[in-house]
């Protein structure tokens, strides 16, 4: 089964972490929480979930993973200032393996400079940032463009999770 990296920081959107993680693990995949510091415990913005960072982004190789799933909330905005996390995402994108981002997740893809020429969706407030990064923004529950899977937000989680599982 697949080994999936999930970069996560403080104030993630609770369901956007817990639902994809559950769907992936229920299907037999192994999800690894990566972040700024190994052992750090991060909290969802709604206070419903926590996650323990298993690996620091600086210490992992994208080649060791089969897919990347980026939850939204404020987590991507916090992570985009961490050079190691951004570098991990950039190097992972070069692999052409599946990358899934929901809600504010594309902020991390913008910082990694990997959206130019793509068709993506996101939370509506991220639209201008996505377009300024050279991507074409569309308003659909799930948008798939080559190895990228993007989704708008929590209401789209069933379709988002299905798209990821189909890709794996």
Overall average pLDDT of the 88-113 stretch: 97
List C-alpha distances in Å: 145 to 21, 116, 121: 22, 12, 10
Q: Is 55 a catalytic residue?
A: no
pLDDT at 119 (0 to 100): 98
Overall average pLDDT of the 36-61 stretch: 96
| pLDDT digits 0-9 by tens, 74-85 | 999 999 999 999
User: Could you tell me what percent of the chain has a pLDDT over 70?
Assistant: 100
Q: Is the dihedral of CA 103, 168, 110, 61 positive or negative?
A: positive
Q: What is the extent of the structural domain holding 93?
A: 3-167
The domain tally of the chain equals: 1
pLDDT at 82 (0 to 100): 97
pLDDT at 113 (0 to 100): 97
Q: How confident is the model at residue 58 (pLDDT cuts 50, 70, 90)?
A: very high
Overall average pLDDT of the 74-99 stretch: 97
pLDDT at 96 (0 to 100): 93
Residue-averaged pLDDT of the chain: 97
List C-alpha distances in Å: 55 to 13, 71, 84: 20, 17, 12
Q: What is the CATH number of the domain that holds 133?
A: 3.40.50.880
Residue of 89, 103, 126, 149 marked catalytic? 103
How far, in Å, CA of 77 to CA of 25, rounded? 26
| CB contact set of 80 (below 8 Å; sequence gap of 6+) | 86, 107, 108, 110, 111
How far, in Å, CA of 44 to CA of 75, rounded? 9
């Amino acid at each position: 089964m697949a080994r999936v990296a999930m970069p996560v920081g403080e104030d993630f959107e609770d369901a956007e972490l817990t639902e994809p993680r559950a769907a992936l693990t229920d299907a037999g995949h192994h999800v690894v929480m990566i972040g700024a510091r190994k052992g750090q415990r991060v909290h969802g913005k709604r206070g419903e979930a926590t996650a323990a960072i298993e690996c620091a982004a600086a210490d992992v190789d994208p080649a060791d993973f089969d897919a990347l799933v980026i939850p939204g909330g404020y987590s991507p905005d916090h992570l985009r200032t961490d050079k190691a996390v951004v570098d991990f995402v950039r190097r992972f994108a070069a692999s052409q393996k599946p990358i899934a981002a929901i809600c504010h997740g594309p902020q991390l893809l913008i910082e990694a400079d990997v959206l130019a020429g793509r068709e993506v969706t996101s939370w509506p407030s991220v639209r201008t940032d996505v377009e300024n990064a050279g991507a074409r923004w569309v308003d659909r529950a799930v948008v798939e463009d080559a190895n990228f899977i993007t989704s708008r937000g929590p209401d789209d989680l069933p379709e988002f999770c299905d798209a990821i599982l189909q890709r794996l």
